[in-house]
Chains A and B, each alone.
Chain A
Amino acid sequence: EVQLVESGGGLVQPGRSLRLSCAASGFTFDDYAMHWVRQAPGKGLEWVSGISWNSGSIGYADSVKGRFTISRDNAKNSLYLQMNSLRAEDTALYYCAKDVRDYYGSGSSPFFDYWGQGTLVTVSS
């Protein structure tokens, strides 16, 4: 059974940092690209970042580019999101999502077949 378990969320002040983790199990982690998708309270889904199976291709939404860094450790079956210079508008439930393909990047047409339950990040003073 595929499981994606996010952790690391919490209350943080504006301008501070937070690191999210996603522990994956039930599939061969290094065969697939992975993504972070967020959902602000009462709002829709927003893609945040994606990373290919070997970290060779990475992408970010314009709203987080330069502030967030996605990474993965295939030996630990884990996905990470380092979030710096956090803003109030980053407040959201952050989902880890598995891609159906191994490659993320130009021509890949990604989509998600499994999602975690999310970890809540609240940015407030």
Chain B
Amino acid sequence: NFMLTQPHSVSESPGKTVTISCTRSSGSIASNYVQWYQQRPGSSPTTVIYEDNQRPSGVPDRFSGSIDSSSNSASLTISGLKTEDEADYYCQSYDSSSVVFGGGTKLTVL
């Protein structure tokens, strides 16, 4: 199995843009779709990006996803940061035998 590595934490000011990375340890990042989940304190996760760069209905277009084969990583970018975006974010992918989550990134909007 591969691992997905995320920064432990990131912080940025309201109105700014932040990017959270998710690096795949082995195998190509492009070989399986990457999803991103948001988890606010005390709540269950919700999907903010699926299939690398698709937004579920109801998720604002301030959220975007991409993959970069050169760095073998996926990225979640949140623009126009709002205090309500403060949460933990997890990337997720899959290989032939199991679902893999990244370790999570705590986003602080201060």
- Which residues from chain A sit less than 8 Å from chain B, CB to CB? 35, 37, 44-47, 50, 59-62, 95, 100, 106, 108-113, 115-118
How far does the alpha carbon of A109 sit from the alpha carbon of B101 in the complex, in Å? Answer: 13
Q: Number of residues in B with C-beta < 8 Å to the partner?
A: 26
Residues of A within 8 A of B99 (CB): 35, 37, 47, 50, 110
Question: What chain B residues lie within 8 Å of A44 (beta carbons)?
Answer: 88, 90, 101-104
Contacts of B101 in A (CB 8 A): 37, 44-47
Contacts of A117 in B (CB 8 A): 44
Contacts of B44 in A (CB 8 A): 95, 115-118
Q: Which residues on B are within 8 Å of A, measured CB to CB?
A: 1, 32-33, 35, 37, 39, 44-47, 50-51, 56, 88, 90, 92, 94, 96-104
Contact A59 B50, beta carbon cutoff 8 Å: no
Is B94 a contact partner of A110 (Cβ separation < 8 A)?
yes
Instruction: Show 10 A/B contacts (Cβ-Cβ < 8 Å), sorted by A.
Output: A35-B99, A50-B99, A59-B97, A60-B98, A95-B44, A95-B45, A109-B33, A110-B94, A111-B51, A115-B46
